[in-house]
Amino acid sequence: MIERHAPVKPLVERLVVVGLGLIGGSFAKGLRARGVCREVVGVDLDAQSRRLAVELGVVDRCEEALATACQGADVIMLAVPILAMERVLGELAKLDLGDAILTDAGSAKGNVVRAADAVFGGVPARFVPGHPIAGSEQSGVEAANGELFKRHKVILTPLAQTDALALQRVDQLWRELGADVEHMQVEHHDQVLAATSHLPHLLAFGLVDSLAKRNENLEIFRYAAGGFRDFTRIAGSDPVMWHDIFLANREAVLRTLDVFRDDLDALRDAVDAGDGHHLLGVFTRARVAREHFSKILARRAYVDAMHSNDLIFLANPGGKVAGRIRVPGDKSISHRSIMLGSLAEGTTEVEGFLEGEDALATLQAFRDMGVVIEGPHHGRVTIHGVGLHGLKPPPGPIYVGNSGTSMRLLSGLLAGQPFDVTMTGDASLSKRPMNRVANPLREMGAVVETGPDGRPPLTIRGGSKLKALTYTLPMASAQVKSCLLLAGLYAEGVTTVTEPAPTRDHTERMLRGFGYAVQSNGPVASLQAGGKLTATRIEVPADISSAAFFLVAASIAEGSDLLLEHVGINPTRIGVIEILRLMGGDITLENQREVGGEPVADLRVRGAKLKGIEIPEELVPLAIDEFPVLFVAAVCAEGRTVLRGAEELRVKESDRIQVMADGLTSLGVKVEPTADGIIIDGGQSIGGGEVHSHGDHRIAMAFSVASLRATAPIRIHDCANVATSFPNFLALAEQVGIRVAVEGKQ
């Protein structure tokens, strides 16, 4: 525990806490213990509580009468039951409170604000309504706990007229107690709480009572297992307090309850009709929502521990790599498996699916559009396809996080739907260019709206009649090619796309795997609308883009010998192998075979003496995602490496030319970034230091690999997005001998 000393000048001279139950008592006790108030005065009607409050050190003194307690108060906290608020506010309105700040801890805000308005004849500017989201099944001043609010949310709901200094002061008091304070509108607060707290309590109380009533001897509870206990834990809460809350937050509770009743009726009908599809849909969606929720909680705890959002990898220098690993499934193929599986007729089984945030964003998008998808569980996903015309409007905007592939490919597909959809992304994706898909889609007749400068969010209006397009891509981009081919599934005529250089052809291959004819002739791919997709089985090979980090790691570390199993070696993806071989890398392909239309092999890589090369431009699109780590290889090589024709690197998850150049410079390596590439003189020593990934997963992993040849530790900032493509990177890196871990967790 950190020792806290009383500040020289206390924040508050006199704090008055009215109501010394669990919440009021904990607030008083916590602030008193932290020495932020000269005096803490309690008010309680119950004599026993008043005595205990002083004995237990909750307050300095305690009064029965509000008027006596409030004399000279700076801050008055109302922590009385919600239905008593109006009466207490009414008494306060009769007193001369001077400049005292008034705040409360009621669980519903609308009724407290209305009461203040009524009794004061307008809500006072120095009233700051608030609600700490904390509590327990315990109650009373004996349960007061000064640490109760630590890492809990406190919502303040200031009004337009609320005094800024008063708000700041209340905010500060809660922060002193370790709370995480947020501000929200009154109505929003009440609606959110009705859904996340009040409705569950109503259901728990209701269910236990309903069962208990029908089984008076309570015999059935003997058979109740953990599920019942967990679900009904909150039925042990204080009945009087909850009775008050439902009366206080009536409107918001009714709104959420009515929506829930409709959903419950639909579930009832599904059970009645034997509609397993509906049940599976609800249960799979609920399960992921629940997992998402647990992750948020876990992340919050973690972030709290670190006091920041910055996930730092600490990569210690030296080592070599050895062993045998399988990196996760291919990201591009995983995205496409969900998209085509959803639009197919029948049930598609996927194995080896990448459970990274990007592919999961695509999966969630289709769940949002009504597709029932089971899993992923150990890379297995079962997709209950709805056919090309079976998607439903999502309940709100589709959030695709960091994933450019999701946004660009989906835009093509969505252009063919009868409903409107808006897609949004995280800060990095929100800076990436979308006109490359929006413009040709508009030429096909789609209505596509973008944010300023063609950046996300993207809104695609439904119901447009698409006509086929013959289009020559201005840049080598598989995402744009795929977007247009997917739109072509819905466009009248033959859609033809010509690419300036070969790019990954997973969309074409997978469409054929689903029985859809796609013509490919050199740089030209075309398809005709009007066909259908038939469900199939997909085995996703390991991602060569993830394997690339280990190909370079083993190449640059003397004495390394590593086997990477089952890696996809589609000819449109093997640029990294070809470039490393040109540099003198020792990579052999073993056990070559084909799975589900994609070639795979085990890659054996050993340490080698690399030399610098001029990277052939035709290899650039075939290694586009691998350049960050290839730059590391170039630094470790003898002689100069020159990359040209790679301006696309500037519009990836970060500007990969600049961000890598900056990072290398921080490590004492001189490089020369150019408009479309970089010049790296190899053989320079890599020092230690701080580098920033700018939220780009591949930059974070590239610098982790660089540590093998560094002379001192490298701290890599902003690494959380490694989870987008390679969630178990650190575990595999450690397993083979790269000394990288989350800082503080070594």
Which residues from 641-660 bind ligand S3P, rule CB under 6 A?
648
Is 332 marked within a binding site? yes
Write the binding mask 136 to 175 for ligand S3P: x where contact by CB under 6 A, - elsewhere: ----------------------------------------
Three-class DSSP labels, 348-373: EEEECCCCCHHHHHHHHHHHHCCCEE
Q: One-letter amino acid identity for 191? A: Q
Among residues 111, 191, 402, 477, which is the contact residue for ligand S3P, using CB under 6 A?
Answer: 477
Number of residues that bind ligand S3P (CB under 6 A): 10
Is 477 marked within a binding site? yes
What's the chain's Rg over C-alpha atoms? 31
Among residues 605, 615, 624, 738, which is the contact residue for ligand S3P, using CB under 6 A?
Answer: 624
3-state helix, strand and coil shares in percent for the chain, rounded to the nearest 5 = 45, 20, 35
Residue 396, CA distances (Å) to 368, 581, 585 in order: 8, 48, 49
Write the binding mask 320 to 349 for ligand S3P: x where contact by CB under 6 A, - elsewhere: ------------x-----------------
Find out whether 627 and 646 touch, Cβ atoms under 8 Å.
yes
CA distance 411 to 400: 12
| Residue 736 within binding range of ligand S3P, rule CB under 6 A | no
Is 520 marked within a binding site? no
Least spacing, CB of residue 567 vs ligand S3P, in Å: 16
| Residue 405 within binding range of ligand S3P, rule CB under 6 A | yes
Cβ nearer to ligand S3P, comparing 154 with 624: 624
Segment near ligand S3P (CB under 6 A); pick from 63-71, 473-481, 571-579, 661-669: 473-481
Least spacing, CB of residue 651 vs ligand S3P, in Å: 8
Is 625 marked within a binding site? yes
Choose, from 625, 655, 681, 718, the residue flagged as catalytic: 625
Indicate left, alpha or beta for 373 from its phi (over 0: left) and psi (-120 to 50: alpha).
Answer: beta
625 an active-site residue? yes
Find out whether 317 and 685 touch, Cβ atoms under 8 Å.
no
Cβ nearer to ligand S3P, comparing 388 with 646: 646
Find out whether 239 and 208 touch, Cβ atoms under 8 Å.
no
Report DSSP state, residue 739.
-
Least spacing, CB of residue 453 vs ligand S3P, in Å: 17
- Laid out side by side, the sheet with 740-742 consists of 689-692, 714-717, 313-315, 740-742
CA distance 42 to 77: 10
* Dihedral, 309, 313, 314, 317 alpha carbons, nearest 10: -160
Q: One-letter amino acid identity for 466? A: L
Find out whether 63 and 53 touch, Cβ atoms under 8 Å.
no
CA distance 590 to 505: 23
Cβ nearer to ligand S3P, comparing 466 with 480: 480
Q: One-letter amino acid identity for 663? A: G
Find out whether 558 and 605 touch, Cβ atoms under 8 Å.
no
| Residue 625 within binding range of ligand S3P, rule CB under 6 A | yes
Cβ nearer to ligand S3P, comparing 320 with 481: 481
Cβ nearer to ligand S3P, comparing 32 with 697: 697
Least spacing, CB of residue 719 vs ligand S3P, in Å: 18
CA distance 55 to 49: 10
Segment near ligand S3P (CB under 6 A); pick from 244-252, 388-396, 477-485, 702-710: 477-485
Write the binding mask 504 to 533 for ligand S3P: x where contact by CB under 6 A, - elsewhere: x-----------------------------
Least spacing, CB of residue 481 vs ligand S3P, in Å: 7
Cβ nearer to ligand S3P, comparing 186 with 434: 434
| Phi, psi (degrees; rounded to nearest 5) at 491 | -105, 145
Concatenating the DSSP letter of every residue in 14-38 gives EEEEE--SHHHHHHHHHHHHTT-EE
Among residues 479, 496, 693, 707, which is the contact residue for ligand S3P, using CB under 6 A?
Answer: 479
Length of the chain measured in residues: 746
**Residues annotated in a binding site:** 331-332, 336, 404, 432, 477, 479, 625, 652, 656, 698
**Residues annotated in a binding site for phosphoenolpyruvate:** 331, 404, 432, 479, 656, 698
Question: Site residues (CB under 6 A) for ligand S3P?
Answer: 332, 405, 477-479, 482, 504, 624-625, 648
**Residues annotated in a binding site for 3-phosphoshikimate:** 331-332, 336, 477, 479, 625, 652
Q: Annotated catalytic sites, by residue? A: 625
